[in-house]
Structure 1
């Protein structure tokens, strides 16, 4: 069962759901085995893990938190709560994203008695490699030791640097760093990660896709995320005034160059309801079904046999087993034309879609 996120229709942003939605879902679906909550999201907005954990535990269900962007959270009191401190049962963390370990360095944490550690280990063994690299373990252990000993000091400096950099970016004409005023509210997020710089570039009359491509090509600065109107920069404990200065210089150059950009192609943005596709087959059944490749206009009303995922952040717009709609086809095709990355469709140009074959 899918649980709808909080949706900001004005800014076209989603935020983690709240405890009331979780409670209603467990009442409606008593056979649900637990909940998987993604927080923080790639824009740095966080859900109310403590309140959601309390609801899950009322029903005797475990809460699993995908905290891919939260490796730094346990090490400073001015950051949003870490899942383990907020009573989650399992927390999965990608240390290579906001920590300092090599790629693929992810860990999971377990507490409480709602998840059997032997079962968890057995299932992890099904997915993990039988040939792990010592480099992954070494960087995980080294980073953890470093943060336990020096993390608060390092992150105190990083938070101050992020604060001053945020103010400097806001002084650049046409740029605005989004923050609590845009992110927080009863139907929005519980807290933001102050180390995420979500920069709205729409006042420059350019898209985030254009900004990211230009910064990479002309300034050798690579940002982690872009969309139709924003770019996102991530600060970590490894940043200092030198790296912050590189970002500021690159953004200043972007502001000066923006007048020469072509008008960005429009992206057909659906409403939150239009993004909620109907699931009529189990994803596994649709993926392994007999399939065919059909033209984009013929895909409407058909059952998808593939994922179509704007990346980053990697949240699928279409999943196997869902009925494809015109609104979502227009969204992903116009997004691709505007610069959106879509790594998984069989047809990289999205002139056609992979769908479940019709039965004779």
Structure 2
């Protein structure tokens, strides 16, 4: 039976159920009534609770879909160009965990990009696999990391023909990506499936100004955070599958293990609506956001601020997402952290910042007024002419060494074994093995993971993150004065 992209079957089923006004003698306990004794809470949540139901005869079951949820997922697969799509209510994290655990067995070897999100690393740990970690290519202009080069990947595939998967993350947090097609083709020639964490690229391929999607490049498994750059609610994501190189039944089983048995129907219905919006509005879905970005970037010449991906700050061979405004101060008088703080003072809240860049994420909900507000804030910051909080000019150091300059590394075993640890001053930790995660968030990419040897370069970078007040996850001391390292066997 032909699918009808004009429908939003899951959302429509929830609305129809709410209109029944049936007595609720099932979970959830709120019974669609916001009775918390707070008028503000009732005003915010009242209309939403009617859609917050459970698995009923007319609402379907995420773990065994047969009705409107099955149809919604089939519509999503057709829309995004996959053979099969599964809704995720735990963000891309749940999809990343499931695709690794479903594909791999303990002791298997995979080839993975070094600068992946922590959820990928957690998936490697849960699966108990050995991973060959390839350093990414470093864009010379921006000093930002992308994916490993085709040459690096091919070398690793030749050295480790037993690899069960190639795991990459694209685009990066800054909206930058390279052509994945040659890398995917190289893996497929050796029968190796390609898994892509495309959390920030759910919109790719839906507008001429966007890069192509990883599915279009031929990837076998692709995870997308539909809530990040499309219109779904937070935690709404999708796992797309295609081809015969992956064990789909095992991946579905892994999804049932890592996803809640009581998934949020409002989140799932918002995934249905995000897909419906793409079908209904086509490229117009992004018109306001792109126009807002154009309004800002066209006026930056009046300031010292510049946008990555525009003019002389665009690298050949790199595709840039126009919905990620990556701004920096060309004079280096303001770091990315400082520019973020200045913007927040003017009630423009950015997605993230590092020592050079501030990243502002736009989306289908962005309006021209949002672009004008951001522009006015940038002009005001420029007019202040303040040079406090910063910086001698410097070339931005990147978090990783470029893979083109390195040999193929030995595999690292990822497990959940606990090791005895001791705290040492960060300055004295060089040469020790880390016993904890150190994860600046965002972007959520580990600078250190347990078992990795701490180098002088890592210590220097951590000092800069500490100095700039970055938010650190994983470390017992979030101020990074001390770091946990593995105690030597000899004590």
Q: TM-score, normalised by structure 1?
A: 0.90
Does the residue aligned with 1:14 lie in a helix, a strand or coil? coil
| 1:9-62 superposed Cα distances (whole Å, 9 cap, x missing partner) | 453211223323221110122122111111111111112122221111101011
Deviation at 1:7, TM superposition (A): 0.8
Partner of residue 240, structure 2: 109
Q: Cα–Cα, structure 1 residues 269 and 87, in superposed 2: closer, same or farther, change >3 Å? A: closer
- Larger-Rg structure: 2
| Structure 1, unaligned runs of 5 or more | none
C-alpha contact 1:283 1:319 (8 A) present in aligned 2: no
Paired with 2:479 and 2:392, the residues of 1 have a C-alpha distance of 16
1:143-222 matched pairs, under 5 angstroms: 143-168=274-299, 170-179=300-309, 181-185=312-316, 189=318, 191-203=319-331, 205-216=333-344, 218-222=345-349
Paired with 1:245 and 1:305, the residues of 2 have a C-alpha distance of 47
| 1:322-346 superposed Cα distances (whole Å, 9 cap, x missing partner) | 0111221121122211222212211
Q: Cα–Cα, structure 1 residues 274 and 150, in superposed 2: closer, same or farther, change >3 Å? A: closer
Does the residue aligned with 2:325 lie in a helix, a strand or coil? strand
Paired with 2:287 and 2:216, the residues of 1 have a C-alpha distance of 20
Q: CA RMSD in A?
A: 2.4
Partner of residue 125, structure 1: 256
* Residue of 463, 472, 483 corresponding to 1:353: 483
Is the aligned partner of 1:56 residue 2:198?
no
C-alpha contact 1:202 1:230 (8 A) present in aligned 2: no
* Residue of 223, 226, 236 corresponding to 1:95: 226
C-alpha contact 1:17 1:47 (8 A) present in aligned 2: no
More divergent stretch after superposition (150-159 vs 128-137)? 150-159
Partner of residue 245, structure 1: 372
Partner of residue 224, structure 1: 351
C-alpha contact 1:206 1:258 (8 A) present in aligned 2: no
Is the aligned partner of 1:236 residue 2:363?
yes
Paired with 1:283 and 1:202, the residues of 2 have a C-alpha distance of 41
| Structure 2, unaligned runs of 5 or more | 1-131
Does the residue aligned with 2:133 lie in a helix, a strand or coil? coil
Partner of residue 327, structure 1: 457
Does the residue aligned with 1:292 lie in a helix, a strand or coil? strand
Q: Cα–Cα, structure 1 residues 77 and 270, in superposed 2: closer, same or farther, change >3 Å? A: closer
Partner of residue 18, structure 1: 149
Q: TM-score, normalised by structure 2?
A: 0.67
Does the residue aligned with 1:210 lie in a helix, a strand or coil? helix
Q: Relative contact order (C-alpha < 8 Å, sep 6+): which is higher?
A: 2
